[in-house]
Structure 1
């Protein structure tokens, strides 16, 4: 950075998510105050219970795991200039893949069964993600439309399977038989539901960082995302890269479904995801393309989800306020993107040169 280069464009990617979250919390505080409750008390309960209490923090980790994996799936697609709106459907397909491996490959030792179940979730999610990737690369079909529509296909497919061929005999509601314990993700905090899915997410984040920052594939993904025409001119296969990156995005989101099924529920339920795939879109955009940002934002969203019910019981604040805060966070980050683009277009961020530099 030269002495005359403005510092604002450098700080903006860091400040924008912070300002967006702070603004959402401020508006949330106003909503809480209008409901006749104390915002300070509500937020104190929310974050104390979700981050400092042993059982509350365990619940936060449980909810952070699928958010982190799905957020990475959306992020890697964005790196290649693709908008993966289908993480929710990929979560369902990943849960289905892990369930099938868990149920139909019994008798295996845990050190084989569990990795195979995770691999099944990754492959099912990856195949589901590669469908819009192929349609975009080969047929030119907009991936936003195909990924969004495939969400409903996946959700209804899983719903049909757990109501018909995969249903537990005599089950009072649609769910599959219990998976063998050899396919379960181990508990990492005793006497809680916190499982090793969070470790899977952190390992996936590290591997993805290495791939994007230290490998030819990562360079190719970045090149296609920045300028597909130039990447094609340089000899890169843009079509193959798009299909590959969408498959990778689907696989990571599929692992989020595996985390829910193998770590928390131990069977496949109808509508088992509470919207993690849609939260992942906000997480990826808030991270501004930074993998560490995805980890931090996933933890923030996990804490919101974990502390929402406690806040309702202790501070008499409806859970819907938390969902309003999440929505407002997305709104404010979108506003920050729009302002940033406008400033760049108007040349406000262009560095100024003095006579000596001309």
Structure 2
């Protein structure tokens, strides 16, 4: 049955979300087997996941606390993806961004205002992440090194460098069993949002995702990036600076991940230590794929994945399931997302047909307006 123009426009609006919705449904179906093998109820497990993520104000606080860095690390994947690069090194950029931000207060004179110190910490974190992931883009463009492999390996190098500096030259002598840098002065720590128990990282995470969407969808360079991502050879033929755009996308993504490290240091941990390496960079990969590299959708997907991570302890207490149960759920979700990506070609064909149907109403509307 051929849909009408209005129906076609409605379907076009929800069509991009179809693979993600199908992946979520398939994930829940497969995940229900896991608690059954452990002697627990599948419906109880799924219900507790929802309760642990969104069932109370405390649950929402835990969810949003995890969602804030996920939004920024997901951009480390989503922005390079606009030029066709698959970068998965957000964990390393986060670690170095947090370390750079932790060092800034040590270099400033005592008593400096937070109005000066906090922006400098943010800039240090952004620059550290941008340089690290920008190097991945440079290796890809100028040496032909696969960006997926190089970003993963450079993430390991960044983590090793982070541990060496935190446990060695930058270690606070007062940190005994938990090596860390000198603590950020209380006057320079980032407090909660007014009326909430969430720090300002959530606000800046949402704002950065919105800004990234505006840049990608409504700017000349964002449009050029999407052309490069669609066909780099054609982009070169029309004179677009492919290498420069690829470096820009990688630097922006790395800067977002570095900013998340800064907020983890200044608003959560209070110093750079091993707790900074909580896997947000790796979870950000899942968020970006679930959002299909759409910066606006990243906000929603980050809250969902953050809620799944926050519910792990509740599953362990109530049903006796391992705390890693949520990791199983995330792994199944990632596998389902990859499986349903096969619909991409079919969805593209559907979109063309629906756009043609939706366009049939335009001449009628113009004629009425003219009359």
So what's the TM-score if we normalise by structure 1?
0.90
Alignment counterpart, residue 172 of structure 1, candidates 150, 173, 177 = 177
Question: In structure 2, what is the equivalent of residue 119 of structure 1?
Answer: 123
Residues 87 and 278 of structure 1 are in contact (CA less than 8 Å); yes or no, is this contact kept in structure 2?
Answer: yes
CA distance in 1, matches of 2:290, 2:88: 15
Measure, in 2, the Cα distance between the counterparts of 1:282 and 1:119: 26
Which segment drifts farther, 34-43 or 198-207?
Answer: 34-43
Instruction: Please show how residues 288-299 of structure 1 align to structure 2 within 5 Å.
Output: 288-299=292-303
Contact (CA 8 Å) 1:287, 1:293: kept in 2 or not? yes
After superposition, give the CA deviation of every residue in 1:249-271 in whole Å (9 maximum; x if it has no partner): 11011112112111110100136
Please identify runs of 4+ aligned residues in structure 1 that moved more than 3 A. 1-12, 189-192, 347-353
Q: 1:316: Cα distance to partner?
A: 2.1
SS of residue in 2 equivalent to 1:167? coil
Is 1:84–2:87 an aligned residue pair? yes
The residue correspondences of 1:191-340 to structure 2 (distance < 5 A) are 192=197, 194-270=198-274, 272-340=276-344
Judge conservation of contact 1:51–1:303 (CA < 8 Å) in 2. yes
TM-score, normalised with respect to structure 2: 0.87
User: Residue in 1 aligned with 2:17?
Assistant: 14
2:160 matched to which residue of 1? 156
Q: How many Å apart are 1:2 and its aligned residue?
A: 8.0
In structure 2, do the counterparts of structure 1 residues 150 and 46 end up closer, same or farther at CA, with 3 Å as the change threshold? same
- Spell out, residue by residue over 1:297-335, the C-alpha distance to the aligned partner (whole angstroms, 9 max, x if none): 110110011111122112322222211110000100100
Aligned-partner SS, 1:82: coil
Tell me what 1:67 maps to.
70
| 8 Å CA contact 1:85, 1:148 repeated in 2 | yes
Deviations 1:118-164 (A, max 9, x none): 11111100010111111111222211121111011100000000111
Whole-Å separation in 1 of the counterparts to 2:221 and 2:46 = 43
**For 1:197 and 1:110, how far apart are their aligned partners in 2?**
16
Residue 191 (structure 2) aligns with: 186
Question: Offset at 1:181?
Answer: 2.2
Please tell me whether the aligned partners of residues 155 and 271 of structure 1 are also in contact (alpha carbons under 8 angstroms).
no
Q: How many Å apart are 1:294 and its aligned residue?
A: 0.8
Contact 2:213 2:294 in 1 (8 A): no
Give, in whole Å, the separation in 1 of the partners of 2:196 and 2:296: 29
Structure 1 distance, partners of 2:123, 2:351, is: 46
> Is residue 42 from structure 1 mapped to residue 45 from structure 2 by the alignment?
yes
| Equivalent residue number for residue 100 of structure 2 | 97
Distance of 1:61 and 1:305 partners within structure 2: 11
Q: Return the offset for 1:43.
A: 2.5
Unaligned 5+ runs, structure 1: none
Cα distance in 2 for partners of 1:147, 1:271 equals 22
Provide the C-alpha distance between the structure 1 equivalents of 2:325 and 2:308, rounded to a whole number of angstroms. 10
Of the structure 1 ranges 96-105 and 145-154, higher mean CA displacement relative to structure 2 is found in: 96-105
Which of the residues 32, 36, 40 maps onto 2:35? 32
Cα distance in 1 for partners of 2:34, 2:3 equals 44
Shift of 1:190: 6.7
Gaps of 5+ in 2: 361-371
Residues 190 and 38 of structure 1, relative CA distance in 2, 3 Å threshold:
farther
Maintained 8 Å contact 1:75/1:284: yes
Q: Which moved more, 1:40-49 or 1:29-38?
A: 40-49
Q: 2-side partners of 1:293 and 1:82: how far apart?
A: 19
Aligned residue pairs, count: 352
